[in-house]
Amino acid sequence: MSRIEQVLQTLKGQGRKALIPYITAGDPHPDKTVELMHTLVAAGADIIELGVPFSDPMADGPVIALACERALAHNTSLRQVIAMVKEFRKDDGRTPVVLMGYLNPMEAMGYEAFADAAADAGIDGVLTVDLPPEEAEDVAPLFAARNLDPIFLLAPTTTDERIRAISEHSSGYVYYVSFKGVTGAAKIDVDEVAAKVGHIHELTALPVGVGFGIRDAETAAAVGRVSDGVIVGSVLVDTIARNQADTDQLKRALTDLLHPMREALDSLAS
């Protein structure tokens, strides 16, 4: 059982929902990423999604695209991101870390070299936005051999047949994108999400995390009621952008945003 599966199983047994924050590695500076990861955990994160900066983040809105620009301005590479996780693991061997990004950096590094380095660093899962499962034949065996969970996206338009197919190739959890569009682009429709997530649960035994549109404790609780976890990205990345000049203030701002979400999710515990 992977670290992701262990954490999600424990939470389920407690009647609790996963809080999964996303930040972009190297933003606002590579030297700050590990410190910010620990801040997220202290504020209540169960799993961390760590974005690998990329020059053409096609699924992301302007907030995360600008974060990628800031990280790339400091020459943040995939190898550096992996090294950040290895550094994080010196003090935290419990919190799962999922790398989220695009295929090109992984392809440039080499699939096997990436899988070896990721496993050695203590990375637990990989979500590659532009790698559909039917095109993952080269990487899937490498990930499986190293206990790396491949995580794939589901959309509001995903058909039942495709939900089943994606789930068969996934482990850890599946990531349901709550609306059509890019990150940070719209207000979430909780009733619509509830209906879709309920239907996804009928088609897969995997936990379902919901991302896109989670902005505060209220939306976290609303989505937490109908899912296994909430994924929080753009609002955190925007907080980093607005507080990047002062690290202490940045850490307080992230905590002030994330901790109420943790409390709101825990209030749902049955």
Number of domains forming the structure of the chain: 1
Please, are residues 98 and 48 in contact by the beta-carbon 8 Å criterion? yes
Provide the pLDDT confidence category of residue 180 given band limits of 50, 70 and 90: low
Decide if 269 is inside a domain: no
107: CATH: 3.20.20.70
Torsion from C-alpha of 173, 151, 124, 121, nearest 10 degrees:
-170
Q: Is the pLDDT of residue 131 over 50?
A: yes
Q: 211 by DSSP, 3-state: which? A: strand
Q: Which residue has the tokens 């943790």?
A: 262
DSSP state of 46: S
Q: 29-53, pLDDT tens digit by residue?
A: 999 999 999 999 999 999 999 999 9
Q: In the prediction, which pLDDT does 270 show? A: 62
Q: In the prediction, which pLDDT does 57 show? A: 73
Decide if 39 is inside a domain: yes
Decide if 172 is inside a domain: yes
Decide if 228 is inside a domain: yes
Decide if 87 is inside a domain: yes
Q: In the prediction, which pLDDT does 189 show? A: 82
Q: 50-84, pLDDT tens digit by residue?
A: 999 998 877 677 899 999 999 999 999 999 999 99
Q: Is the pLDDT of residue 179 over 80?
A: no
CA nearest 173: which of 150, 141, 142? 150
Q: In the prediction, which pLDDT does 186 show? A: 54
> Burial level of 138, CB count in 10 A (0-12/13-18/19+)?
exposed
Q: 193-243, pLDDT tens digit by residue?
A: 999 999 999 999 999 999 988 999 999 999 999 999 999 999 999 999 999
Q: Which amino acid type is present at position 2?
A: S
Decide if 253 is inside a domain: yes
Q: Is the peptide bond before 150 cis (omega within 30 degrees of 0)?
A: no
Range of the domain at 228: 3-263
Decide if 193 is inside a domain: yes
Decide if 270 is inside a domain: no
Catalytic residue positions?
49, 60
- Percent with pLDDT over 90 in the chain: 86
